Copies of this chain bind each other. A is one copy, B any other.
């Protein structure tokens, strides 16, 4: 141990530390300053940035033995507190810099380090700084963060005051449509928001720390598990295997379709007979410290018989492939699509026919916060599980039978989540911590390191697609034939639903009258498929939007104009035969057109022998809701102090708190109360109603409508016969109920039938994308230099939230296009290995053009937003690459070597 005296936020602190401990761990676990977050734990994300003797360092990679006695450290807590915010913190709030907020303390500390050295940085200098210090953000697309730094610098230079910068409620009192900072922003920018690992450090002293014994192979039979040596390790309380699981030890996907050949009970909590994928949990060590738990986990001996591992759909579909789940074929679900007439005749007679194969990779979510959770028994004896779940009521049902507990004895709570982007639509560790709490009676805590997080949480499922368009002379598509194969990994949960998404979104946006196709869901031994923002549509649009460019070329049309020709007009229907709820594509294309023309001219002018520039477009559409009928509940209660809103609108970081507050405030406008009077109680199955999961951009629409309904009920009840509203005391005196259950269901919807025809969504979002790229001919490296989206997400609840969602979605789309992947179990285990975009990988030239078509079925006209920006931005990037250099990328990501090979092939 070392005795160190260091100055922490201006006060000398004496500490006893392990010389090998990281500064981050010491700051967090020993000093209790949990504002410094640990994301990747390997100096690739910058969440742990602190200022050490004037330099910004990543504290996770700074060992204590290298920190000199007398060193000075500034953490986020030393930069500003709620009562005394630093201008950077104010700027972060008003620019929506804190979405999930996990990276915010690190960014703000890093920016402080920059401004300490350079009080007047240029935008590019800010971007260079964040790039150099590896400050990664997965939510915000970087641009708002640069905006925030620029404004904070103005305050520090005395050009504007902190008060000028801060948000003020407009005179009319309306916050709907404005830039009210999300309620959680203050805690996030001050480092005071406790994420799961922070809460873990704040658990009672008798909490046991868990470590998993995990599979090191992808497919095997388990012969035996020997825990005897591990049980003798220091600090071990108990080691749990499948024998300690009280229930059926399986997690079910619940909504398994009738034609699914599996029963949905294929995912073990703790492996018993077989290992299905790398990382599968086999045993849980419960110990007094994480280090002791992990050390003991290494001593558990698992005796296996290794089996052939099918690491992609084609491998698992091979004739000689054994069934991964014995008794269920590896191709376990098929989804047809049949719209209009049979396509063969149209193809035969078409003026233009184009056809191509596509592959969209296993995109990793790359949240800043690795997966984390804990469990305990609450005061009513309920097994209570806190996690990053974005589907608390759904998960309650999914894991209860496996645990062997009645659902009403199981309580799920969502912690503040440092990003999920959908991976938490599947339970990850919920059942594991549940098993441990049940077996030990202790509170238990489990956190994954980043490699565990990547390898043992769900991924976007790769699609192998074949697509064919037939078009008439004008370029109008008359028929589409599609075939898509979904590599869903070993666990079936939602795999059938995802396969349906292919039917819904391949070719979506265009009024294609005749469609035939087939999708298949395949069981493999690679990472299980989970939800990911825009679920199923990036795969679909990669095919239909790249093939559209091929058709344009063949038909001699401009890519934007062929889209204008084919995009929804009155009378068109979606691939599932539904009428769109808005026809705004033409208006959006009109908005994009002049920019597109200018961008093309600019690309031409700036292209050289070494750098080829080009412009690409694509369109995107996504539904807001679960498939078919979807409903939600939100409760609104008048209290002595104001109004309390109860929802289970789980937060990925997208702004569930702001959505809830903004919608409720708008619903309560007749009462004229300020937003500070509205209290939010969210995301705890014991106290908040079932609002459904936060997926598919459904919450603003479905739960938004429920909130609106609840508010209307309360406002109506408060209305006095003579005008005006009753006070709380008057309501109580008159015995009028003060709490109302706002409910809403998407009654116009119907699930798709066997031909994938139906009305799956009540509200859709529409967008037109344009990207400007530069291709380095020597290296094949592609840089996105500009990106514009025209978006129709209905009327806007909160501009900061909606802007932020769009910027972030585009950034993920650029990563999807160019760099992100999870394929190689050795290489793809870090943020950099998986290709996360840093500040300089995302253009600062990011533009949003809104077309606000009020939605009939959206509360106050709002649609959702989160999925839209990730529907097809990658398609427009690869279209731009083709435009720049003539290389058609159809299998993502468009890595430099792939582009270079294309360039070489053209020579």
Contact = CB atoms under 8 A, between A and B. Distances in A.
Interface of A: 1-3, 9-19, 21, 29-34, 65, 70, 78, 81-84, 186-187, 190, 192-194, 199, 201-206, 234-235, 237, 288-292, 374, 376-379, 384, 386, 413, 415, 443, 679, 684
Contact of A1 (B11, B31, B443): B443
A759 to B, nearest CB: 40
Contacts of A199: 14-16
20 contacts: A1-B443, A2-B378, A3-B378, A3-B384, A9-B81, A12-B187, A16-B203, A16-B204, A19-B379, A30-B202, A31-B202, A32-B32, A32-B34, A32-B201, A32-B202, A70-B679, A81-B81, A84-B84, A205-B291, A206-B289
A676 to B, nearest CB: 12
A82 B72 CA distance: 15
A194 B13 contact: yes
A372 to B, nearest CB: 14
A679 B7 CA distance: 12
Given A16-B203, A205-B29, A206-B291, A190 B11 contact: yes
A76 to B, nearest CB: 12
Contacts of A203: 16, 30
Nearest to A17: B204
Given A32-B32, A81-B84, A15 B190 contact: no
A200 to B, nearest CB: 10
A108 to B, nearest CB: 15
B16 A235 contact: no
Nearest to A411: B3
A16 B376 contact: yes
Given A10-B186, A21-B204, 10 more contacts: A1-B378, A10-B82, A15-B199, A16-B204, A17-B204, A19-B379, A31-B202, A32-B201, A32-B202, A205-B289
Given A1-B204, A3-B384, A16-B443, A82 B9 contact: yes
A768 to B, nearest CB: 40
B235 A3 contact: no
Report copies per complex.
2
Q: Which 7 residue pairs spanning A and B have beta carbons closest together? A: A32-B32, A288-B288, A84-B84, A1-B376, A11-B192, A30-B202, A205-B289
Contacts of A377: 1
A373 B288 CA distance: 22
Nearest to A18: B204
Nearest to A644: B70
B1 A82 contact: no
Given A1-B377, A1-B378, A202 B384 contact: no
A858 B682 CA distance: 67
A684 B4 CA distance: 12
Contacts of A17: 204
A519 B5 CA distance: 47
A94 to B, nearest CB: 18
Contacts of A291: 205-206
Contacts of A32: 31-34, 201-202
A1 B377 CA distance: 6
A740 to B, nearest CB: 20
Given A11-B190, A234-B237, A1 B202 contact: no
Question: Among the interface residues A30, A205, A292, which one has the most CB atoms of the partner chain B within 10 A?
Answer: A205
Contacts of A379: 1-2, 19, 65
B205 A15 contact: no
A10 B74 CA distance: 22
A204 B376 contact: no
Nearest to A680: B12
Contacts of A290: 205
A202 B292 CA distance: 18
Nearest to A192: B11
A788 B287 CA distance: 60
Nearest to A33: B32
A80 B443 CA distance: 34
A812 to B, nearest CB: 29
Contacts of A684: 3
A33 B77 CA distance: 12
Nearest to A79: B83
A456 B386 CA distance: 43
B289 A11 contact: no
Contacts of A3: 378, 384, 413, 684
Contacts of A21: 204
Contacts of A78: 83
Nearest to A379: B2
A156 B374 CA distance: 45
Question: Among the interface residues A30, A199, A234, which one has the most CB atoms of the partner chain B within 10 A?
Answer: A30
Question: Among the interface residues A9, A16, A377, A379, which one has the most CB atoms of the partner chain B within 10 A?
Answer: A16
Nearest to A442: B234
Nearest to A682: B5
A449 to B, nearest CB: 16
Nearest to A19: B379
A15 B187 CA distance: 15
A38 to B, nearest CB: 14
A279 to B, nearest CB: 25
Contact of A83 (B10, B65, B413): B10
A64 to B, nearest CB: 10
A11 B82 contact: yes
A739 to B, nearest CB: 16
Contacts of A10: 82-83, 186
A376 B18 CA distance: 11
Nearest to A86: B83
Contacts of A413: 3, 14
Contacts of A378: 1-3
A203 B13 CA distance: 12
Contacts of A289: 205-206, 288
Contacts of A237: 234-235
A729 B2 CA distance: 30
A33 B194 CA distance: 14
Contacts of A81: 9, 81, 84
A51 to B, nearest CB: 14
Nearest to A191: B11
A599 to B, nearest CB: 45
A194 B14 contact: yes
A377 B19 CA distance: 12
Contacts of A234: 237
A16 to B, nearest CB: 6
Nearest to A29: B205
A415 B14 contact: yes
A555 B30 CA distance: 67
Given A34-B32, A83-B84, A187 B443 contact: no
Nearest to A30: B202
B16 A187 contact: no
Nearest to A290: B205
A309 B869 CA distance: 83
Given A202-B30, A237-B234, A374 B186 contact: no
A574 to B, nearest CB: 42
A410 to B, nearest CB: 14
Contacts of A190: 11
Nearest to A684: B3
A535 to B, nearest CB: 29
A65 B378 CA distance: 12
Question: Among the interface residues A29, A34, A83, which one has the most CB atoms of the partner chain B within 10 A?
Answer: A83
A81 B74 CA distance: 13
Contacts of A205: 29, 289-291
B235 A288 contact: yes
A35 to B, nearest CB: 11
Contacts of A29: 205
